[in-house]
Amino acid sequence: MSIAKTYNPKEAEEKWYSYWIDHGFFRSIPDEREPYTIVMPPPNVTGVLHMGHMLNNTIQDVLIRRARMQGKNACWVPGTDHASIATEAKVVAMLREQGVDKKSISREKFLEHAWEWKEKYGGIILKQLEKLGASCDWERTKFTMDPDLSEAVIDTFIKFYNEGYIYRGVRMVNWDPQGKTALSDEEVIRREVNQKLYYIRYEVKDSNEYIVIATTRPETIMADTAICIHPQDPRYTHLKGKKVLVPLVNREIPVIEDEYVEMEFGTGCLKVTPAHDLNDYELGQKHNLEVIDILNDDGTLNEKAQILVGEDRFIARKKVAKMLEEVAQIEKIEDYKSQVGFSERTDAAIEPKLSMQWFLKMEQLAKPALEYVENGTIKLIPEKFFASYKHWMENVKDWCISRQLWWGQRIPAWFNERNEWVVAKTEAEAIAAFEQQGKSPEGIRQEDDVLDTWFSSGLWPMSVFDGVRHPENREFQYYYPTNDLVTAPEILFFWVARMIIMGHDYTEKPPFKNVYLTGIVRDKLGRKMSKSLGNSPDPIDLMEQYGTDGVRVGMLLSSPAGNDLMFDVSYCEQGRNFANKIWNAFRLVKGWETIDVPATEAQKTAARWFENRFNQAVAEIDEHFADYRLSDALMSTYKLIWDDFCAWYLELIKPTYQAPIEKEALETVKHFFEKVLALVHPFMPFLTEELWHDELFGTRTEKDCVIVATYPITQGFDEQVIKEFDVVKQVISEVRSIRNGKGISPKVALPLAINATVIDFAKYQENIIKLANISELTFVKEKVQGAVSFLAGKDECYIALENNLDIDAEKDRIAKEIDYLKGFLIAVEKKLSNERFVQNAKPEIVQNEQNKKADAEAKINILEDSLRSLG
């Protein structure tokens, strides 16, 4: 049966993905094998596939496929995260389109709508990952609000509360006015923004004097409760003990002194607004100042502002500035840049806000999580992220774990009519707890707040195996700790650190051994890909255009661990070309007729070289995988197949036009082709499975698939064989280059003479004659006069071009090359004569420069001899 002229990715992808699932190749059940476990960072249930997901999940799939082929029990657990803030916002928007206000319906009714939305849209991204070829155990798919996972979350809250780690209190929190919920510090993205710095005049009571305060937030002056000066600032000594009037509302506030004020910043005076700034709040606590909160939860001004009630904070900013100008209380306005916090979920500007919230004490819990990474039990790849991880863990703050939402795990706290509270799993247990404490359970109601999404996903490596509720179960004991976590650096603290914290607290073990931190996918201009910029291609469209294997290769060719990748569709084109190269090489081999005779010596020589080169490449690739250099592992695989296998080995052994190939040689090629397909399968699963089942390899059994074929293991290699053949390749390449340079047709056979002093070229004679189109290969002991010469390794080679050579042009070419090499030699000698370089550089670097010098001198000598021989 003939093979199609071109590879059809779509047909192969649909066929083989279904086949793999139908035959249970992705399924993992505990057995006697070594487990290899990855838990997928659960994408938001609101999400669709973007380039970051593509990169992350391609890396995971490469790792899981390779482990599966290595005979490990490979288990990749997929799932999605309920994403409280993002999902609630989606559902609220959907209801608004239907004319329904969230406030007008009950919590239960809202949750009905939310679950309906989740069932309709929540699985989109997982279906898209199937298109990517993700070999997840789909029967294990989890959702962070599945009943068993939710119960684990509630159990964990109660456990931490009983251990004294959870408390409730009024604290200054990061408030998202759009999501109308508190956020943890890690959910706030700080960005530098262009603002205005307003210099506002505050009248000093009972005087004609005023004091000037610089602020970026004039809309908060109505919440001011003091003006603060530095005790040693001579400019304001006379104001001590006085009062000033808040502009526009004329409320009296005191002048206080504190060294917290920076005398050099602004005017050296600070307005203190305890309800709307964390530092001001701490200053207010220290000086017993009143706290006036003038903002509603949605960022509009409330009645305490006295003016502009109901206006949005940013509109109020402009209006307050204008009102101040109208009463001559603005001294000047300057352009100003400063850091502003934005919600990681809604991108709304954050408001510091005093709020009653639930907190998890982090100081003690964080210590073991830092130790695991410090002592190497958990490896961060690349290591450059350790410094920021260490800094965060050593300066960790208590985690605000409550969110003012309905979608999520509801906090298991219960209040009576007197607002007294207990923590309990059920209402019945709460009633019993109230009674045990001698308190009335009358009017019992559950806390409205839900837990931060990261609290639930922090349990992910345990809860997907039901290890929180049933730590003794076989699956948890077998699969946990997991092996590799592949995730983005921006959630190193959001998620990775919290999984380590919770994993240790429950099991005294880390949840994983390695954390591979991917880079950010950027466009070729270096901009982060985003929908708003319109610079992010649709991954599904890319896979349709270039084939999934092509896109996977394109992503990985440009993605060193932890470094941002500058993505360009040309990488996908390169990946598609690679797939076509393998396809066409297969078509070439399949098209050969055979003759039942042994292989020639030249074919055996070529096979011996390729076998050694293949084993060398496998050792390189294994080393790259061990160091999580997947991009390098792919590049080594790419070069082995494109250069060594296709460009050299197949050319060396292929029969002459329309002649048959020796059967033994063909069997050797097929053997190598299977090994090549197995080696590249983790990167290119569909193409390799398609070719694996071709009739060229005979009849396969139902489960004889490349997905579970044995991953190549290096059998050791003879470096001498590889080095010798590199010189042979150099001879062939030089002859070809001379032909091109002289405009001689490839069909014209040329004589070649070699002065072989190092390598026994006789072993490779037939290979050289075939690929270099040599009319006669002779071995000489002296220079060949009038011939073009070149150095291959350390041996001199000569081509007598006779009538094919333009003597004057050749002399000119050689003279130019000598000039270039002499200039190069001067640069190398200058470096070697620099004592500081020789003393400070690594010995291997110095040796490399000395080798360059020797090579340049040898080439110059040969070229000068050639010049002399030409007259």
CA dihedral (589, 591, 596, 600) positive or negative: negative
Neighbours of 537 (CB within 10 A): 18
What are the CA-CA distances from residue 251 to residues 205, 245, 322 (Å)? 10, 5, 20
Backbone angles phi, psi at 60, to 5 degrees: -60, -40
For residues 69 and 78, what is the distance between their CA atoms, to the nearest angstrom? Answer: 20
DSSP state of 229: E
- How, if at all, do strands 514-517 and 484-487 pair? parallel
DSSP state of 235: G
User: Residue 489 corresponds to which tokens in the numbers above?
Assistant: 């650096």
For residues 621 and 430, what is the distance between their CA atoms, to the nearest angstrom? Answer: 59
For residues 283 and 818, what is the distance between their CA atoms, to the nearest angstrom? Answer: 77
For residues 84 and 701, what is the distance between their CA atoms, to the nearest angstrom? Answer: 48
Cα end-to-end span (Å), the chain: 61
For residues 446 and 107, what is the distance between their CA atoms, to the nearest angstrom? Answer: 12
User: Residue 714 corresponds to which tokens in the numbers above?
Assistant: 């290096």
Residue 45: CA count within 13 A, CB half-sphere: 32
DSSP-derived secondary structure for 372-415: HHHTTSSEEESGGGHHHHHHHHHT---EE-EES-SSSPBP-EEE
- Kindly report whether the peptide bond that precedes residue 382 is cis, defined as omega within 30 degrees of 0: yes
CA nearest to 465, candidates 528, 517, 511:
511
CA nearest to 770, candidates 860, 686, 654:
654
For residues 23 and 753, what is the distance between their CA atoms, to the nearest angstrom? Answer: 59
Widest pairwise Cα distance in the chain: 115
Q: Where are the beta strands (DSSP E) in 736-820?
A: 750-755, 774-779, 788-792, 795-799
For residues 852 and 824, what is the distance between their CA atoms, to the nearest angstrom? Answer: 9
Q: Where are the beta strands (DSSP E) in 449-518?
A: 450-451, 484-487, 514-517
Contact 369, 501 (CB under 8 A): yes
- Any bridge partners for residue 797, and if so which? 754, 790
DSSP state of 830: H
CA nearest to 296, candidates 404, 168, 402:
404
Is there a binding annotation on residue 531?
yes
Q: Which stretch of DSSP H or E encloses residue 539?
A: helix 539-546
Contact 59, 488 (CB under 8 A): no
Annotation: binding site for ATP: 531
Annotation: binding site: 531
